[in-house]
Chain A
Amino acid sequence: MDRVKIIEVKQSVFANNDQRADQLRQELKQQGIFLLNLMSAPGSGKTTTLKRTVELLRDELKIGVMEADIDSDVDAKAMAEAGVKAIQLHTGGMCHLDADMTRQGLDVLAKEAKVELAILENVGNLVCPAEFDTGAVKNAAILSVPEGDDKPLKYPLMFQVCDVVLINKIDVAPYFDFDLEKCREYIRMRNPNARVIPICAKTGEGVELWAAWLREQVSAWRS
């Protein structure tokens, strides 16, 4: 047998995915599609927030939603009821989506309808989705009051990669030891550029502000 050959690689495991994500972003730019990647822990209100968001934007933008879950289609059904194109992506046990899986989802979505704003509801998880660039134009995270104001300290990467953080369920803040100012400070520590918007998806409080942010981003990307 020949001697063992050693090939120096010195490459991040995420390099290939990062490349594919950049490629996808370029294509989306040419096609005039804005892709938002929405991430959070399970149960923080991604689907409820999305329902509110599309109610405010569906008359001015063609919206398509990709729901990523390990199993079931309850989220896609909920979005379809809200009146937007929705598809369900099953990750087959994986805890995140990568650029290739996102591309496959966008292809399916494109067959159903021409969209201007595509929203990816990532798998409920604060660790893995932050590591894999999906090709999204902007990343958003939801942190809900019952989860605690120290989440940005415990899951630094998630808050580093986010352009905007929605603090959801602020209506129940009086019942929890949640300090909004402290939470803002912790987010600033991780990412000084992240916009923080407190909302209550259930009552609709603050959602206008978030929809305005998104509207601005979409129009900047498509211009």
Chain B
Amino acid sequence: MHELGIVFHIIDSVEKVAADNRLEKVSAVVLELGEVSGVVPEYLTDCWRWAASKSPLVEGSALKIEPLAAVTHCDNCGKEYSTVIHGKTCPYCQSGSTWLLTGNEVNIKEIEAY
């Protein structure tokens, strides 16, 4: 149900962009999805199929998901590492002063329209 809310927000944004660019029909929406965004791609596409059918602008359009790797930066040793494998603790120096560089994105990258 979390994904459904996100889908509504995507459609909302797409409708705005379409109005600004005078698009009448969208054929695909390309989404960048971070590995640790907490959004499940399969649920998202399921919700998309249902919700898109309610909006004439995006009805029948595809949601293309491009995964983005999650990378964490360590302030202590300055190195970067995979968040999914190592989590919050730096594998090089065991420091906990780390922060997520990329990986929590839910971005609309582009819209394909006729």
Cβ of A220 under 8 Å from chain B = no
Q: Is the interface of A mostly helix, strand, loop or mixed?
A: mixed
Residues of A within 8 A of B23 (CB): 5, 7
Known A-B contacts A9-B13, A189-B88; the reply to A95 vs B2 at CB < 8 A is yes
The reply to whether A13 and B17 contact each other, CB–CB distance below 8 Å, is no
Return A177 CB to nearest CB of chain B, in Å: 21
Beta-carbon contacts of B85-114 to A below 8 Å, as 1s and 0s?
A: 000100000001000000011111111111
Chain A interface, number of residues (Cβ within 8 angstroms): 29
Q: Is the interface of B mostly helix, strand, loop or mixed?
A: mixed
Cβ of A153 under 8 Å from chain B = yes
The reply to whether B111 and A12 contact each other, CB–CB distance below 8 Å, is no
Beta-carbon contacts of B1-27 to A below 8 Å, as 1s and 0s?
A: 110111001101100110001010001
Chain B interface, number of residues (Cβ within 8 angstroms): 29
Residues of A within 8 A of B10 (CB): 13
Inter-chain CA distance A13–B5, complex, in Å, is 11
The reply to whether B5 and A11 contact each other, CB–CB distance below 8 Å, is no
Which positions in B face A, CB cutoff 8 Å? 1-2, 4-6, 9-10, 12-13, 16-17, 21, 23, 27, 31, 38, 88, 96, 104-114
Which positions in A face B, CB cutoff 8 Å? 1-2, 4-17, 93-96, 98, 127-128, 131-132, 153, 156-157, 189
